[in-house]
Structure 1
Amino acid sequence: MDSRLHQADSTRLVRRDVLGVVCAAPNRALLLRREALALWAPPNALGLRKRSRTCGRTLARSRGEASMTIIAAIDPGLTGALSVLDDNGAVRLIADLPTMPTEGNGTIKREFDALAFYALMRGAVKADESAICVIEHAAPFGKSMLSAAALEATKAGVLAVLRIQKHDVRRVAPTTWKKFFGLSADKDASLTLARGMYGHLPELKRAKDHNRAESLLIARWAQRNLT
């Protein structure tokens, strides 16, 4: 009896996931190897639910468990973007942040359209669903006063809408999520990585779609670090 119990315990501890990494091993090198391999395919492509940072949680889908975590990520600014991933990691939405013409003859010709953003979010995340919403939080250093003011106004509008809709709002510094993917400030590298991970989505086909790509990568970072 003792030998059978010992064998059952060993089987539970030495369970391999689909990437061939031993989950029971607390070795950081193995965990980093697993993370690096997983970067190049979205969780839904591997049949995975979001994996927690601890090794004890594995394949929720294989257990028949239901996850309710949806991720929305915002790369703020007048040329910013929104990406939404469902609980299996599939892309629900990639879109530019909506803007509208400003009144008058000022230098800034467009401003954030909060009502259109409200509708965009409600279309992607239904009223009976909840989401973790992550917004990139970067200090406006190196920007002109007008650009910095426009960025801060956009972030304020985004945050107001997300809170009205009662979402769980988080902030992430650009250095944090970019370090996770091994990226620098090069936006072309972000676009290349997003295309490699999610295939050539039509929303990422243009060179100027780097902000869409970064919002998608922020969503992926949140899915792997906040859930």
Structure 2
Amino acid sequence: MESFYLTKLAAVKPTFIPPTCFFTLIPPPLRFAASSALAFRVYSASAGGIIVASPTLDLPSVTVDPKDFGTGGGRARARGGKKLLRDELRENWLDALSCPFPHGKPSIDWVIGVDPDVSGALAILKPDHSPQVFDSPHLKVTVGKGVRRRLDARSIVHLLQSFEVPIGTTAYIEQSTPFPQDGKQGWWGGGFGYGLWIGILVALGFSVVPVPSALWKRTFKLAGGDTTKDDSRDMASRLFPCMSSQLKRKKDHGRAEALLIAAYGKGLKISNIQSVTENFIS
């Protein structure tokens, strides 16, 4: 029988590896670019004394109030960061909807207002002229086994071109918001009209500003569940008396809302109804 002998091994001494060896195995740090910012690098020290650099981050500079470090300071900073992000995203969105062609300073005397629904309208306010409003051009198309109305893109282009509006003019459009009671077809139709109007307006040289319905309606005290489409027609008739003959029917609410959206864009308010009336009558 073979005999087994155990031999005591000598203690192995740890071998020091120069830090540069580790860096040859570590991929180069990633760099994340940002539009504005304060770049800084975070370092962490390991137990072996090797310092490893994390990816360089370019973050927007933020002014921090020392009071934020008190009770609830972390939550306050988080809210501030979210607001900065929301503001930046909104600015990027508006920049994407601005006039894509070279132009001078746009005239603030020209304003377009758009209710983008298929039953909506387009209103135009221009200097030294009475306001104008036009029903949105549309046509009938087959959808499945039924027939529905859809916006007529070519006719919208021809209508806008007929105004000879200065390039870079701002067009205010009601921001499409789907409601549960509208159903799938309502959601699709609302999104289709909203996107179609934006695409045409930007392509023709307008700068587009989406406006939530609640925002412009609050300006004219039309927000809330107790208001109706008739209230919009009444308010538009008060603001633009010369247009009252075109706002008599219930189905003229689209015209009224387009006029009010344009009025909101021009900065008109209920408090200066009299001055607005005089400007357009004289």
TM-score tier by shorter-chain length is 0.5 to 0.7
> For 1:190, what is the secondary structure of its paired residue?
helix
Q: Which residue of the partner structure matches residue 116 of structure 2?
A: 76
Change (3 A) 1:222 1:107: same
Q: Which residue of the partner structure matches residue 131 of structure 1?
A: 169
Q: Distance in 1 between matches of 2:267 and 2:169?
A: 14
Q: Distance in 2 between matches of 1:144 and 1:88?
A: 43
Q: 2:109, 2:125 within 8 Å by CA — same for their partners in 1?
A: no
2:153 aligned to which of 83, 100, 114: 114
1:218 aligned to which of 255, 258, 261: 261
Matches within 5 A, 1:12-51: none
Code of the aligned partner of 1:134: Y
> For 2:162, what is the secondary structure of its paired residue?
helix
Deviations 1:118-151 (A, max 9, x none): 111111244x544210110131113110111011
Q: Distance in 2 between matches of 1:168 and 1:129?
A: 9
Q: Which residue of the partner structure matches residue 189 of structure 1?
A: 231
The size of the alignment, in residue pairs, is 158
Q: Does 1:165 align with 2:240?
A: no
> Could you say which structure has the greater relative contact order, defined with CA pairs below 8 angstroms and 6 or more residues apart?
1
* Superposition deviation, residue 207 in structure 1: 2.4
Q: Does 1:178 align with 2:214?
A: no
Deviations 1:19-49 (A, max 9, x none): xxxxxxxxxxxxxxxxxxxxxxxxxxxxxxx
Q: Distance in 2 between matches of 1:108 and 1:148?
A: 17
RMSD across aligned positions (CA): 2.2
Q: 2:113, 2:173 within 8 Å by CA — same for their partners in 1?
A: yes
1:143 aligned to which of 160, 171, 182: 182
In the superposition, the TM-score normalised over structure 2's length comes to 0.52
Q: Distance in 2 between matches of 1:176 and 1:108?
A: 34
> Displaced runs of 4+ in structure 1, greater than 6 A?
none
In the superposition, the TM-score normalised over structure 1's length comes to 0.64
Q: 1:71, 1:87 within 8 Å by CA — same for their partners in 2?
A: no
